[in-house]
Amino acid sequence: DSNALAYGLRAGLPQERLFAFTIVFRDVMTQAAADRATVLCQELGIHHEVIQPDELSALLGIATSVDELYADFSEVFGSEALHFFGTFLILKTARTLASRRGCSDLAFGYNREDLLAEMLFQLVNGRRPLAYPTRPIGDERIVMPVWRIPKLVLDACHPKFSLENYRERDANTTRQR
């Protein structure tokens, strides 16, 4: 999703308005995946920052470490919730970096299945679905340019990167496609 998102944003916006980051944390995003993202961003002329776990702790003001925070989280929610924790880290990091850089829009590669899963979660928990394709969150706005596109189509745009990313994920998450 992020591969197609990067190409789309670069085609529609000047490179000086774009900034990308990748956090490295367990199976959420490996160093190899961060390296692939760096290559992609270099090809597109997009500034890209790789944030290691110790840097992430400092950036987000985590008093211990990301690993210790995840250990506490997984005690309550189990190891199957790793990617929920990863999504939290990504959103928190995006908002922190946006605040520091004076950015107001955060573009995420939420695809059709991501939004359907989120809507279902909201509904089964007695809540209204969240707004899309844009959503205010604090001082920022989340923008979802690929929300109508099925995940399979987005993966097909960059099959090599997508396959490598799926092969690196743990057994508790999305099965290889």
Q: In this predicted model, what pLDDT tens digit does every residue of 100-128 receive, in sequence order?
A: 999 999 999 889 998 999 999 899 999 99
**pLDDT, mean of residues 3-12:** 91
Amino acid identity at 18: L
User: Does 175 have pLDDT greater than 80?
Assistant: no
pLDDT above 80 (res 177): no
Phi, psi of 107 (to 5 degrees): -90, 125
Bridge partners of 50, per DSSP, are 22
Structure token digits, residue 24: 């490295």
According to the model, what pLDDT value does residue 176 have? Answer: 47
Q: What is the pLDDT of residues 41-67, one digit of tens each?
A: 999 999 999 999 999 999 999 999 999
pLDDT above 90 covers a percentage of the chain that reads: 65
On average, the pLDDT of the chain sits at 88
pLDDT band at 170 (very low <50, low <70, confident <90, very high): low
3-class DSSP string for 11-77: HHCCHHHCEEEEECECCCECHHHHHHHHHHHHHHCCEEEEECHHHHHHHHCCCCCHHHHHHHHHHHH
- pTM for the whole thing? 0.85
Residue 65 has which token pair? 């470490």
Q: What is the pLDDT of residue 162?
A: 73
Q: Which residues contact 140 (CB under 8 A, 6 or more apart)?
A: 94, 95, 98, 99, 103, 104, 105, 106
User: Are the CB atoms for 22 and 29 separated by under 8 Å?
Assistant: yes
